[in-house]
Amino acid sequence: MGKLDSQVALVTGGTAGIGKGIALKLAAEGAQIAIFGRSAERGQSVLEEINEKYGSGRAAFYQVDVSQKESVSDAIKNVVIDFKQVNILVNNAGVTRDQLLMRMSESDWDEVMDINVKSCYNLSHALVRPMMKARKGKIINISSVVGLTGNTGQANYAASKAAIIGFTKALAKELAARGICVNCVAPGFIKTQMTDALNEQQQETTLSQIPMGRMGSPEDIANAVLFLSCPESDYITGQVITVDGGMVM
């Protein structure tokens, strides 16, 4: 038996990188997985991988623009039709549009805030009421160590990730009495397509900031999300867990 048998988890941005790692990890522990993403091709690939490994019908993909409330609401209705409930929400969707502030366009600012932050509002707002009625649930928001430290050229991204931390703490206080845990995972530098785009000098500079001397993997983040999804974490709420090889101490 898996730790999450009979549970339904919704993972946004679940078609690649950290989100895909989380979806696979939760599925491995018995959860049914609803994956939200923008790329139908990548979504179908993850869907097939999960269903092949863990059984037909274990996962479903929904093509959703998580920055748009109506799109999210419509997709949630379909998830409920397919899976009856959502017990675990992982708000992972995120983008970067890096640039020094003096050169940053308004559209680059707005896109990062809409996808990274507004998506957390859209998904949480849609699912909080049924979780409150059930008097249980897990909401796990994926932030970043950049939301704690800031980073040159990432004013929009750092602001969005800091906002997610504040959102997590406020929502945790609102929902604690209803048995709903709301926590945050703040990854450090994780080896994904995003970090693969760094040049050699940038990667060396990054590694010099990590006491453990290596980048993390999507599975490192997925392990933290799994813990926060399980009953073992039922007395933990409003916390930020950094998974960063010691970058932020």
Query: Annotated active-site positions, please?
Result: 157
Give the rounded distance of the alpha carbon of 137 from its chain centre.
Answer: 16
Strand order across the 240-243 sheet: 59-63, 32-37, 8-12, 88-91, 137-142, 180-187, 240-243
How far the first Cα of the chain sits from its last, in Å, is: 36
- Cα–Cα dist 26/10, whole Å: 10
